[in-house]
C-alpha cells in the first residue's frame, strides 16, 4: 500500500470510530475512544516521522507548517478528552470539537497536500514511503501510543526526516517517546484544564526549557 493510500485508509477508519463512539455508551464508549486515541496518535506519528519530512523535501513547506500546527491543536484536545470520563457531557462536547478539527485537517490534506504529492512522487517512491510508514505503525501498535500524545502538545514536531527504515533510530524512537510521555501525561493535561498545582507547573516549565535548549543546541 502506498503512502497516500495508507493515510486515506486511516482517515476512513477514524471517521468510522467517531461514529461508533457517538452511538456507544458506558465501557464500550471508553474502549472505542481508546482505540480512536491510539489510531490518531499512530496516524500523526507516521505523518510527522516519515510523510511530512519526505514531502518537505519536495518544496511544500507552507502546507506542512500549517499541517503540523493543526496536529498540535488536535493533540491538545485529544489529551483533554483522555483525562475526562467518557460518560460526561464535557467529554462529548470536546469529542465533537475534536471530530470537526480532524475532519477539517483531512479535507485540507485531500484537497491541497495529496494532489501536490501525487505530482511530485512517482508510484515507486510512494510505495517505498508507504512501507516505511507501515513498519513504524507496526512498532507503535505494540504499545499504547495514545500515551505519547500529551508530551507532543508542547510544540509542533520538527520536519526532520528519519534514516531509512531498518536503522535503529526509526525503530527505537517510538518506544522512547512512550517512556517520556507517561510521567508528563497528567501534568500536560492538568495544565490545559487549569488545575495544575504550582509544583507540577514548575516541573513542566523545566521540561519545556530543557527541550528548548536541546533544539537550540
Strand partners of residue 167? 165
- The whole-number pLDDT of residue 156 equals 66
Task: Decide if 13 contacts 39 (C-beta within 8 A).
Answer: yes
Domains and CATH numbers, the chain: 3-182 (1.20.120)
- For the full predicted model, state whether its pTM sits above 0.75: no
| 151, 177 Cβ separation under 8 angstroms | yes
Closest CA to 143 of 42, 43, 49, 71: 42
pLDDT tens digits, 127-168: 999 999 999 999 898 888 898 888 777 766 666 554 444 444
pLDDT of 42-81, one tens digit each? Answer: 999 999 889 998 888 776 777 888 888 899 899 999 999 9
Helix (H, G, I), strand (E, B) or coil at 167: strand
Amino acid at each position: 500500500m502506498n503512502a497516500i493510500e495508507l493515510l486515506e485508509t486511516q482517515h476512513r477508519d477514524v471517521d468510522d470510530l467517531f461514529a461508533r463512539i457517538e452511538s456507544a455508551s458506558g465501557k464500550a464508549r471508553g474502549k472505542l475512544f481508546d482505540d480512536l486515541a491510539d489510531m490518531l496518535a499512530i496516524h500523526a506519528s507516521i505523518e510527522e516521522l516519515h510523510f511530512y519530512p519526505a514531502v518537505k523535501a519536495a518544496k511544500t513547506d507552507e502546507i506542512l507548517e500549517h499541517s503540523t500546527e493543526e496536529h498540535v491543536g488536535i493533540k491538545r484536545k485529544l489529551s483533554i478528552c483522555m483525562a475526562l470520563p467518557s460518560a460526561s457531557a464535557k467529554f462529548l462536547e470536546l469529542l465533537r470539537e475534536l471530530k470537526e478539527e480532524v475532519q477539517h485537517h483531512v479535507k485540507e490534506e485531500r484537497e491541497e497536500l495529496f494532489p501536490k504529492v501525487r505530482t511530485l512522487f512517482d508510484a515507486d517512491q510512494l510505495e517505498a514511503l508507504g512501507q516505511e510508514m507501515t513498519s513504524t505503525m507496526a512498532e507503535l501498535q505494540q504499545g499504547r501510543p495514545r500515551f505519547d500524545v500529551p508530551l507532543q502538545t508542547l510544540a509542533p514536531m520538527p520536519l526532520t526526516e528519519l534514516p531509512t527504515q531498518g536503522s535503529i533510530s526509526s525503530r527505537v524512537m517510538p518506544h522512547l517517546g512512550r517512556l517520556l510521555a507517561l510521567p508528563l501525561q497528567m501534568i500536560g493535561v492538568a495544565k490545559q484544564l487549569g488545575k495544575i498545582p504550582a509544583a507540577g507547573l514548575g516541573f513542566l516549565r523545566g521540561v519545556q526549557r530543557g527541550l528548548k535548549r536541546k533544539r537550540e543546541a
